Amino acid sequence: MLKLEKVTKHFENVHAVQDVSFQVGRGSVYGLLGPNGAGKTTTIRMIMNIIQPDSGTIRIGNGTSGAVDSRKLGYLPEERGLYQKRKIREVIRFFGQLKGLSLKEAADHCQVWLDRFGMGDQADRKVSELSKGNQQKIQFIVASVSFPDLLILDEPFTGLDPVNQMILKDIIREFRDEGKTIVLSTHQMDQVEKLCDHICLINKGQVVLEGDLASIKEEHGDQQIEVRFRTRPDKIPGGLFKSYHIRDNILRGYLPDHLPFKEVVCRLTDACDIDGIARYSPSLEDIFIKRVEA
């Protein structure tokens, strides 16, 4: 559904995106991740055909590189772009018609979406009268009003309370189950773990990690351990960890690649009062920090 091949973009002396490649299939929620300034927004803008890559190709569906059918593509930007002085129904209908819907279709879809978010009785309110969270709902509705085949969401959970986050996650899963493609860019790693099946981590304009999320977590869990102490140790034997932290008598750390797990167990048991030692599955946040700081 979406394929990037060696996409590169420079701005003067800045390599914003360098040889970025990934592919997102139908019926998939794909996490596009990275720290601030990593190149995510530039990548999204190239997918949207807002700016052109210096080299490489971007294909959506069976279209040629750079071709975008706006009726089949929805985009929720991190910055809101709503007409504050207009009524909610007017804004949604307007963007629906821009997506190729008839006035009746836009009106019907508007009501369906407002009802879904519990705002069916607020259609005649002005956008400026809404809370930050409710404006975020309208921004999502505007992006999704045509039920697009490809939906790009940049920080979609901003300002939403837990109930509305749950509603939005349910909608994303429904889109996925209908065979649509969703690209999710967010710093909320817990939401990525709940929703995404594949991820791409970009840092300094380059892909540093890409693939199936479950496989990535399994791969990065091999050299991570959790140690539970009966009493907090005064000192940890040297050379056992690349890095670690201790909280509430629990140590979590990364082992050197060359060091066998059994040797770590023996040395810790000899030196400390241990209650238990086990490998643990890292969170996506752990992996994110490790790869970005590498």
pLDDT higher than 80, residue 294: no
Q: For 280-294, what is the mean pLDDT?
A: 82
Q: Which residues in the chain are classed under CATH 3.40.50.300?
A: 2-212
Q: What distance in Å separates the CA atoms of residue 200 and residue 30, rounded to the nearest whole number?
A: 8
Model pLDDT, residue 195: 96
- Determine contact, residues 106/89, Cβ cutoff 8 Å: no
CATH fold of 221-293, please? Alpha-Beta Plaits (3.30.70)
Model pLDDT, residue 33: 96
CATH fold of 2-212, please? Rossmann fold (3.40.50)
pLDDT higher than 60, residue 66: no
Q: What distance in Å separates the CA atoms of residue 60 and residue 73, rounded to the nearest whole number?
A: 9
Higher-scoring residue by pLDDT: 237, 172: 172
Model pLDDT, residue 65: 59
Q: Which residues in the chain are classed under CATH 3.30.70?
A: 221-293
Phi-psi category of residue 4: left, alpha or beta, with phi > 0 → left and psi -120 to 50 → alpha: beta
Q: For 41-62, what is the mean pLDDT?
A: 91
- Determine contact, residues 237/250, Cβ cutoff 8 Å: no
Q: Whole-prediction pTM value?
A: 0.82
3-state SS record for 179-222: CCEEEEECCCHHHHHHHCCEEEEEECCEEEEEEEHHHHHHHHCC
